[in-house]
Amino acid sequence: MKRRGFAQGCQVFLFFPVVYYWYFVRTKAIRHLHGPPRSSILLGHEFELRAQPTAGGLETIWQKTYGNTFRIGGCFAQDILMTSDPKAIQHILRDSGYRYPKTKDIVHVWEMAVGRSVVAAAGSAHQRQRRVLGPAFSSIQLKKYASVFKATGVRLCAKIRELVSEAPREINMLKWAGRAALDNIGLASLGYNFAALDGRSSEMADLIRRSFTALSNVSSTPLVVLAPALWRFLPKSVLSILDRVPTPESKIFRHFNTVARKTARETIKNAPRNGSRDLVTLLAIASDKDSLDEDEILSQLATFTLAAEDTVASAMSWMLYELSRRPGYQSQVREEITRITDYETMPLLNAAINETLRLHPLMFSFLRYSAENDVIPLSEPIITQAGQRWNEVPVEKGQMVMLSAYTYNRLSSVWGKDPDVWNPERFLQESSRVSVGLHANLLNFSDGVHGCIGWKYGLIQLQVIIVELLKSFEFLDSGAEILNGSAFVGLIPIVKGREQEGMQVPVVVKALTS
């Protein structure tokens, strides 16, 4: 083991001078920006970001100290532009098309976990995949999904009612929300019955939970941080050798990939070719027509299994937790759903959903790099180290940019004087907020060409299942304090003082009488 660690260390330090020189002669303008002092040229601030116990903590401190746009240190002497400025975010994600692709290390992580799917593709490959997948998320198709979601919500309520039939009981709602979300993606889009709610087959649900828990428990060592950073700089011919060295994270990602693709292969094999526009049928037809190759097809199914389960389960659990701590607002939402049948016209429900998404973004940062020289506009000017006032930041080709969804979703200039408080009333008031993101001025689903293709799918699922739950149960405060934990680049719910138990959202559930 010592010999292997020494060899890995030699690889890192062998490449360091080359990478340092390659980057040092670039990105001159960003050096004029203020930012936190760098304690390590080799690690920059990336080690600190990875090692912080809760998501967004350091970013929040830096934002309050240096403003919405500043410079932090990256690995191998790299300078990273960090911003939560609304105008800068609009420019990078929405207005620039493919000129700000995902960084190569993030793409590599996605390829390890799910393959060459829409979350890893860029340019023409990304456009081709979006064209194939698009009809699965049309307005007509989404309405069809809603009936599946409602049936799953009814089954979820029946399962929980069995647990609380005799008395109120503390339940880990993340576990049950994950099972419901997995059943939904299987029944609505994959033509596959996971039967996770029935307990007959919850392999995927358990695997996803174990994967995120394992990621949250990976010790942040310098090597764990440095190894993937090399993917930003070095050619694949060199990195393919380095990639053979297993890391704790790569083992987790590859195990998930193996199981997910096995399920996907069975699903495609049995998919009908009946003209339906659900996801699996579209992919089966694409396979027959060679519109996508096998790896791309299996990768899409693995991606949507992971994304649809985890995003919905987390948001649903967080919302029930927040409602449990505000019984008055919970009662108002419950009264609203007795009067209104159209999910879209339930203002209190949707305000609670949006506020939950704002405070607990699953993806709390986005990494991009400039594919060409550019100038990024700012809504709030910055003062450089030389005292100059900049209304825009010039960046050179290759400049890495970190967009903080966590701090943008908490900007007082956008969200008012209480941005750290769960206050759904903010979404019930008229405002002049800038337009950022795909939904409700939130950055949760990204934006532009790389915006989440399934965001409406997830939102409708949240609406439908939350309504079913609130009609059947009252959710009471368990006394647990849930923190925004971190698992790689994802935000996960963990209980303060019980972090070693992994992801969970304990809430006391009380059955309502008819």
Residue 125 — φ and ψ, nearest 5°?
Answer: -65, -40
H or E segment to which residue 463 belongs? helix 455-472
Distance CA 367, CA 92 (A): 11
Contact 309, 297 (CB under 8 A): no
Contact 245, 8 (CB under 8 A): yes
Contact 502, 494 (CB under 8 A): yes
Name the residue among 202, 258, 249 with its Cα closest to residue 486. 249
For the record, the structure tokens of 157 come out as: 């309520």
* Structure letter (DSSP) for residue 50: H
CA separation (Å) from 65 to 33, 69, 410, 415?
13, 10, 15, 19
For the record, the structure tokens of 195 come out as: 């039967």
For the record, the structure tokens of 31 come out as: 């050096």
Distance CA 203, CA 207 (A): 6
Distance CA 110, CA 103 (A): 11
Distance CA 226, CA 25 (A): 21
In this structure, the strands spanning 400-404 and 79-83 are parallel
What are 104-112's contacts with CB under 8 Å, separation 24+? 104/231, 104/232, 105/228, 105/229, 105/230, 105/231, 105/232, 105/367, 106/367, 106/489, 108/228, 108/231, 108/243, 109/228, 109/249, 109/253, 109/488, 112/250, 112/253, 112/254, 112/257
In which order are the strands placed within the sheet that holds 400-404? 69-73, 79-83, 400-404, 365-369
For the record, the structure tokens of 431 come out as: 């405002």
For the record, the structure tokens of 129 come out as: 């995949």
Contact 324, 352 (CB under 8 A): no
Q: Which residues, at least 6 apart from 23, have a Cβ–Cβ distance to it below 8 Å?
A: 76, 77, 78, 233, 398
For the record, the structure tokens of 185 come out as: 């993606």
Contact 407, 60 (CB under 8 A): yes
Would you say 452 is a known binding-site residue? yes
Name the residue among 13, 14, 17, 33 with its Cα closest to residue 73. 33
Contact 136, 282 (CB under 8 A): yes
For the record, the structure tokens of 460 come out as: 């409708």
Distance CA 500, CA 295 (A): 36
Binding residues: 452
Binding residues for heme: 452
